[in-house]
Amino acid sequence: MNKFFSISLLICIMIFHLSCNGEPVKTGNKNGMIVTAHFMASEIGKDILQQGGNAYDAAVAVQFALAVVYPRAGNIGGGGFAVIRTKKGEYNTLDFREKAPLAACEKMYLDSLGNVLSGLSQNGDLAVGVPGSVDGMCELHKKYGRLNWNKLLLPAINLAEKGVVLTELEAEKLNAYQDRILAQNPTKEKCPYLKRTGFSKGDTLVYSDLAETLKRIQIHKRNGFYAGKTAHLIVDEIKRGKGILSLKDLETYHSVWRPALVGDYRDCRIISMPPPSSGGIALLQLLKGAEKFNLGQYKFSSQEHLHLITELERRVYADRATYLGDPDFYDVPMVKLLSKEYLDNRFADICFNKKSDSQEIKAGEVNWIESFETTHFSIVDKEGNAIAITTTLNGNYGSKVVVDGAGFFLNNEMDDFSIKPGVPNQFGLVGGQANSIRPEKRMLSSMTPTIVEKNGRLFMVLGSPGGSTIITSVFQNIINTIEFGMDPQQCVNAPRIHSQWLPDEIYAEPKAISSKVREQMTNFGHIIKIQKKIGMMANIFINEQDGLIGAADTLRHKDSRSIGY
Ligand code: GLY
């Protein structure tokens, strides 16, 4: 082979390797690592760390930056959860989940005959829960921040004022949602999220109203959002759309510090989110099932591996639908659900040569999951402070309602309640009394920001968007690492499957199941549906030898980025 061909071949192999494997693993970063869904937000996080901020300062700046550069899920009009492990090894979690408005009631989405009024919990002003993100960031900064609050808002304000250059992905997504955004904002001529001729990659979008809102938050902290001009703009908007959220709702909203949900799995300690997220409990149940059956003995992607995780997921999601809800309103049996005795019993009937039947429930027509609503970011600083935040508007662009004069989307989180027992929400999830609507109650979530310790040391910081698929994506990333020994990027890249009790189906990424295994599983009675992408991980791995290793899910979402230094 001559020199030219050798070099060309080498380049081809490198390109092939990159396109198959996403980002190569970069080792040697010791000073900080940020992984987010958008490269500009990751850069901002790094700048804050370089200015002497800690991981919590960087998280605040990233949350506000994502509200500008990634408006379909980054937000100030939504909510989320943070899981924290400090450099001293202390755990904490922050619940800044939205709440039902004071005027909400159990049957607010039903007609007089008890039928669901289609779409009301998903689009428009009645779908909006009381936003929690701004209060959450204020609380996070108050308790753990080091830099001046002003500095943390500055990058987002600059971006909004100067304009953001649209990536191909964001232009495509805005175009795909134009009709739905227009339907909720028909008279807003200056709305930056609407363009009659369609958006293109490279367009610069200036968000003047959002910049002013961020400045009010910069000056007045929580009062820049929950009182004064912003609060009035929100409530005026809600009234125009016949929603129920009031000034009193905004005034009384507060996020909550909750003890982390902690559980052991093999030689790891899992630190995750307790209710009102279902994520932590469900993740621990799944991991304990993986340990019980010694999942790692099977080959990755074998029939045994995929069948077993499906059977575990089926049982765990049935528990989720029945027992989980806001612990401030419903006595969630957390200890029981995670006890060895209970789980041994729960998983005892898993059979290795046939699928079990999910209980018959009349589940309505399920629209498949819009996969990248919600967003997750992970940050670790040089001192070892770590934070995993998952934050959301619920659907892409939430309720699609833009607050006139304030320039941001409001969430449609009310759809995460069980609006009628047994009727699935936009993710196909069903629920009952534990997750019924009550004034000021928080709707059940699947968000699963998680930190893993191994032998007492910080080992992984991870999470994902994806509605109901969040839990199973996080689960598969932990077992890919612990059971199957994958390296950080292999673990993120590996194809995923998802099952959630109802609908009684397995969703699989195109390369997740070989035709031979598919045939075996179909013979067991499984129904397999192909789903282009499941989840979008934003992971950090930590080990002494390699330092901080970021693993973004660039294969599934090319704008995402891990930045370390
Ligand atoms: N809105 C998605 C979730 O909280 O699970």
Q: HEC string of 245-265?
A: CCHHHHHHCCCEEECCEEEEE
252 in catalytic set: no
Task: List Cβ neighbours of 33 (8 Å cut-off, separation of 6 or more).
Answer: 378, 379, 380, 540, 548, 549, 550, 562, 563, 564
Mean per-residue pLDDT over the chain, rounded: 92
Q: How far is the CA of 525 from the centre of ligand 1 (A)?
A: 30
- C-alpha span between 94 and 97 (Å, rounded): 9
**Residue 468 Cα: closest atom of ligand 1:** 5
Using a 6 Å cutoff on CB, does residue 446 contact ligand 1? yes
What is the structure's pLDDT at 10?
43
- C-alpha span between 405 and 28 (Å, rounded): 46
Report which of 558, 540, 556, 559 is spatially closest to residue 26, judged by C-alpha positions: 540
3-class DSSP state of 41: helix
Using a 6 Å cutoff on CB, does residue 98 contact ligand 1? no
Give me the phi and psi of 112, to 5 degrees please: -65, -20
**Residue 447 Cα: closest atom of ligand 1:** 5
What is the structure's pLDDT at 421?
84
Whether 249 contacts 130, CB under 8 Å: yes
What is the structure's pLDDT at 24?
58
CA-only gyration radius of the chain, Å: 23
Query: 539 - beta bridge partners?
Result: 551
Residues counted in the chain: 565
Whether 338 contacts 281, CB under 8 Å: yes
- pLDDT for 449 beyond 90: yes
Whether 449 contacts 272, CB under 8 Å: yes
What is the structure's pLDDT at 28?
80
Whether 41 contacts 65, CB under 8 Å: yes
Q: Which residue type occupies 369?
A: I
Which single residue is written with the structure tokens 């004071």? 102
3-class DSSP state of 144: helix
**Residue 415 Cα: closest atom of ligand 1:** 1
Q: Which of 23-32, 78-87, 392-401, 470-479 has the lowest mean pLDDT?
A: 23-32
**Residue 394 Cα: closest atom of ligand 1:** 1
Give pLDDT tens digits for 147-165. Answer: 999 999 999 999 999 999 9
Report which of 421, 419, 415, 519 is spatially closest to residue 467, judged by C-alpha positions: 415
Query: Of the listed 374, 375, 392, 554, which one is catalytic?
Result: 374
Is the link from the previous residue into 276 a cis peptide, with omega within 30 of 0? yes
Torsion over CA: 39, 44, 50, 53 (sign): negative
Give pLDDT tens digits for 362-392. Answer: 333 334 444 558 999 999 999 999 999 999 9
Whether 372 contacts 427, CB under 8 Å: no
**Residue 392 Cα: closest atom of ligand 1:** 1
What is the structure's pLDDT at 452?
98
Whether 534 contacts 427, CB under 8 Å: no
Confidence of residue 352 (pLDDT cuts 50, 70, 90): confident
Which single residue is written with the structure tokens 């939504």? 78
By the 10 Å C-beta count (0-12 exposed, 13-18 middle, 19+ buried), 115 is classed as exposed
- pLDDT for 108 beyond 60: yes
Task: Please state the rounded mean pLDDT for residues 173-186.
Answer: 98
In terms of pTM, does the model score above 0.85? yes
Best residue among 122, 372, 375, 446 to mutate for probing ligand 1's pocket (most ligand atoms within 8 Å of CB) is 446
What is the structure's pLDDT at 490?
97
What is the structure's pLDDT at 367?
45
Q: Which of 128-142, 346-360, 445-459, 538-552 has the lowest mean pLDDT?
A: 346-360
Best residue among 326, 370, 375, 427 to mutate for probing ligand 1's pocket (most ligand atoms within 8 Å of CB) is 427
What is the structure's pLDDT at 159?
98
Task: Please state the rounded mean pLDDT for residues 408-416.
Answer: 97
What are the tokens at 449?
Answer: 């920001």
DSSP-based helix, strand, coil % in the chain, nearest 5: 40, 15, 45
- C-alpha span between 428 and 513 (Å, rounded): 22
- pLDDT for 216 beyond 50: yes
Torsion over CA: 165, 396, 509, 548 (sign): positive
Q: Provide the pairing of β-strand 204-205 with 457-462.
A: unpaired
- pLDDT for 93 beyond 80: yes
Using a 6 Å cutoff on CB, does residue 425 contact ligand 1? no
CATH code 1.10.246.130 region(s) in the chain: 260-371+448-554
Report which of 468, 451, 459, 35 is spatially closest to residue 260, judged by C-alpha positions: 451
Whether 448 contacts 463, CB under 8 Å: yes
Whether 258 contacts 307, CB under 8 Å: no
Q: How far is the CA of 139 from the centre of ligand 1 (A)?
A: 21
Q: Whose CA is nearest to atom 4 of ligand 1?
A: 445
Confidence of residue 18 (pLDDT cuts 50, 70, 90): very low
What are the tokens at 6?
Answer: 């050798």
Query: 140 - beta bridge partners?
Result: none
- C-alpha span between 76 and 233 (Å, rounded): 14
- pLDDT for 458 beyond 60: yes
Using a 6 Å cutoff on CB, does residue 416 contact ligand 1? yes
3-class DSSP state of 545: coil
Give pLDDT tens digits for 287-306. Answer: 999 999 999 999 999 999 99
Q: How far is the CA of 374 from the centre of ligand 1 (A)?
A: 7
What is the structure's pLDDT at 423?
85
Using a 6 Å cutoff on CB, does residue 412 contact ligand 1? no
Whether 380 contacts 461, CB under 8 Å: yes
- C-alpha span between 74 and 173 (Å, rounded): 14
**Residue 443 Cα: closest atom of ligand 1:** 4
Using a 6 Å cutoff on CB, does residue 122 contact ligand 1? no
Using a 6 Å cutoff on CB, does residue 374 contact ligand 1? yes
What is the structure's pLDDT at 316?
94
Report which of 429, 426, 403, 422 is spatially closest to residue 320, judged by C-alpha positions: 429
Q: Whose CA is nearest to atom 1 of ligand 1?
A: 394
Q: How far is the CA of 445 from the centre of ligand 1 (A)?
A: 4
Q: How far is the CA of 464 from the centre of ligand 1 (A)?
A: 11
DSSP string, 286-342: HHHHHHHTTGGGSPTTSHHHHHHHHHHHHHHHHHHHHH-S-TTTS---HHHHT-HHH
Using a 6 Å cutoff on CB, does residue 431 contact ligand 1? no
Using a 6 Å cutoff on CB, does residue 426 contact ligand 1? no
What is the structure's pLDDT at 430?
78
DSSP string, 127-138: GPPBP-HHHHHH
Confidence of residue 356 (pLDDT cuts 50, 70, 90): confident
- pLDDT for 278 beyond 70: yes
Q: How far is the CA of 410 from the centre of ligand 1 (A)?
A: 14
Confidence of residue 141 (pLDDT cuts 50, 70, 90): very high
For the domain covering 260-371+448-554, report its CATH number: 1.10.246.130
Best residue among 392, 397, 498 to mutate for probing ligand 1's pocket (most ligand atoms within 8 Å of CB) is 392
Q: How far is the CA of 75 from the centre of ligand 1 (A)?
A: 14
Using a 6 Å cutoff on CB, does residue 121 contact ligand 1? no
Q: How far is the CA of 414 from the centre of ligand 1 (A)?
A: 10
- C-alpha span between 328 and 20 (Å, rounded): 46
Q: How far is the CA of 121 from the centre of ligand 1 (A)?
A: 13
By the 10 Å C-beta count (0-12 exposed, 13-18 middle, 19+ buried), 13 is classed as exposed
**Residue 395 Cα: closest atom of ligand 1:** 1
Confidence of residue 341 (pLDDT cuts 50, 70, 90): very high
What is the structure's pLDDT at 362?
31
